[in-house]
Amino acid sequence: MEKTEKRLHFENEILSSLDSMYRYALHLTRNPEDASDLVQETCARALKAANRFRTGTNARAWLFAIMKNVFLNQRRAKSTGEIPSDWTEDVETGDQRFSGSIWPQPFEIFLKDLMREDIERAMNELSDDFRSVFVLCDVEGFSYAETAELLQIPVGTVRSRLHRARASLQSMLSQWYSEGLGG
């Protein structure tokens, strides 16, 4: 059966979101194999529900919402029903400022020496709450409002978690490098 233009458009939306979906799946599962399985299951469900997708709406946000639900359902089925704190817990608000003096000097060398392994290690030190918001806003480029809708939390919480996540990452990376562990 020949596919309609709308269907082809929808499939293209999925294909162009695959890198992004895989990264979010990696964040959720913390395991490359599980992440690939989660993306496949998400795509299968999205394709089945393609007729519910409205052209012109944010396909990536829709796919991420499906993925989050699939992940939560799988996790509930596997565990005792514990829901990750991302979607249940609030966090105290407050702007965590830090001084520029935390960055190792010379700064340019520190920046050049920074490796993906250091950043992944720092990401793993973040709580799920902070990591989710950092991944969605900064790595995947969702707005505060889109992230708030996806995680079902207030925009103010997205903002405060993001700011604290960034500060924590920069502090950890700087501290490890200064201690000779990150370089």
Partner 1 sequence: MGPECLFVLDNYNDYVSGELDRDSSARVERHISVCPNCETFLGRYMALHGKTVQLLRIPAPTSLKDSIARMMEKA
- Residues at the contact surface with partner 1, assessed by CB under 8 A: 11, 14-15, 18-19, 21-23, 32, 36, 39-40, 43-44, 47, 95, 97, 100, 103, 107, 111, 114-116, 119-120, 123, 135, 137-139, 143-144, 159, 162-163, 166, 169-170, 173
Instruction: Give the shortest CB-97-to-partner 1 separation in angstroms.
Output: 6
Let me know how long the chain is. Answer: 183
**C-beta closer to partner 1: residue 66 or 173:** 173
**C-beta closer to partner 1: residue 111 or 181:** 111
**C-beta closer to partner 1: residue 11 or 149:** 11
Instruction: Give the shortest CB-150-to-partner 1 separation in angstroms.
Output: 16
**C-beta closer to partner 1: residue 1 or 80:** 1
Instruction: Give the shortest CB-180-to-partner 1 separation in angstroms.
Output: 18
> Measuring CA to CA, which residue among 110, 140, 171 is closest to residue 23?
140
Q: 10 Å Cβ neighbour count for 127?
A: 15
Instruction: Give the shortest CB-176-to-partner 1 separation in angstroms.
Output: 13
H-helix segments, the chain: 5-29, 32-48, 59-78, 107-113, 116-125, 128-134, 144-151, 155-178
Q: Are 90 and 153 in contact (CB under 8 A)?
A: yes
- What is residue 127's three-state secondary structure? coil
**C-beta closer to partner 1: residue 79 or 106:** 106
- What is residue 138's three-state secondary structure? helix
**C-beta closer to partner 1: residue 79 or 154:** 154
Structure tokens at 113: 């020496």
Instruction: Give the shortest CB-129-to-partner 1 separation in angstroms.
Output: 17
Q: Please return the burial class of 49, using the count of CB atoms within 10 Å of its CB with bins 0-12, 13-18 and 19+.
A: exposed
Q: What is the C-alpha separation between 2 and 176, in angstroms, rounded?
A: 56
Instruction: Give the shortest CB-28-to-partner 1 separation in angstroms.
Output: 14
